[in-house]
Chains A and B, each alone.
Chain A
Amino acid sequence: MKEEVPKQHYSDKQKQQVFDNEFMPHINSMYNFAHRLTFDEDASKDLVQDTYLKAYRFIDSFQQGTNAKAWLFRILKNSFINDYRKKKKEPAKVDYQEVETFYNSEDVDRQITPDLRVEALQDMMGDEISNALNSLDVDFRTVIILCDLEGFKYDEMAKILDIPIGTVRSRLHRARNLLKEKLTEYAKKMGYKNT
């Protein structure tokens, strides 16, 4: 987040209050986010713990009453990129050049004629939707998590991810289309021939 936040000077008691009342209520969302990023229980625990310890260490940079959830999500996302992903030596980014080229083709934007039916989705009682989400590259997966699972707005996502709002919008658009593509595959496997 680029805007300057005046440094706070909390007493120890106030720090504890901010931590308990504004940070801890988001722990389930944080754990869910960590798990969707790492797919590993121990790594998720470490990531969440690390995030909360950092949040406490830098608590004077947090202005009470502002968006604690977005602040925490941003710390977790940065920890994931800087610490966890480096350790795992995973590629840092989706190859956007390749993705842009693919998605600038007419086929992908022609989403107005749905080839996936609501009935097929309603029959997906198992883990199909979760698996479809998990199959997306991390940058696409992340925007869906932030928007559809956690309800963040464009401006909040832009701050969490350090990208312009226009990029958030286009990334979400692509992520939704990729998700539908995956769900269409599942629907076909389930026997919906004319999905």
Chain B
Amino acid sequence: MSHQPPPSSGTPTTCIEMLQVILDGDATPEQQAQFKAHMEGCMPCYKEYNLEMVIKELLKTKCCGQCAPPELIERIKTQIASNAAS
């Protein structure tokens, strides 16, 4: 894998693009294994992967916690019940 910037579409051919596909959750197990093997000998890719994974984890833990207010859930249920009855 080379370090060239990713092409705009198509199969990942560079390690930057492969990393992108892994981060985006769309890599096949083979692609993941290929990238992991590449990372073992490539410090920039290893660092970038770790950094991106920390950001991804932070997003999940810090930005997902909001619950729908109970009165909203009740309001929706009441509206649906009245729509169904009419």
Q: Are A and B a genuine interacting pair, yes or no?
A: yes
Could you tell me which A residues sit within 8 Å of B by CB distance?
A: 12, 15-16, 19, 24, 27-28, 30-32, 35-36, 45, 48-49, 52-53, 56-57, 106, 109-114, 116-118, 121-122, 124, 127, 129-130, 133, 144-145, 147-149, 151, 153-154, 165-166, 169-170, 172-173, 176, 179-180, 183
Known A49-B76, A112-B3, A176-B23; judge A129-B59 contact (CB<8 A). Answer: yes
Residues of A within 8 A of B37 (CB): none
Complex Cα gap A12–B59 (Å): 40
Residues of A within 8 A of B26 (CB): 153-154
Complex Cα gap A50–B64 (Å): 21
Which of under 10, 10 to 19, 20 to 34, or 35 or more describes the interface residues of B? 35 or more
Write the chain B residue with the least CB distance to A133.
B63
A interface SS class: helix
Does the CB pair B52–A176 fall under 8 Å?
yes
Write the chain B residue with the least CB distance to A51.
B76
Contact of B25 among A16, A35, A53, A147 (CB under 8 A): A147
Does the CB pair A172–B63 fall under 8 Å?
no
Does the CB pair B62–A129 fall under 8 Å?
yes
Complex Cα gap A92–B16 (Å): 31
Does the CB pair A166–B58 fall under 8 Å?
no
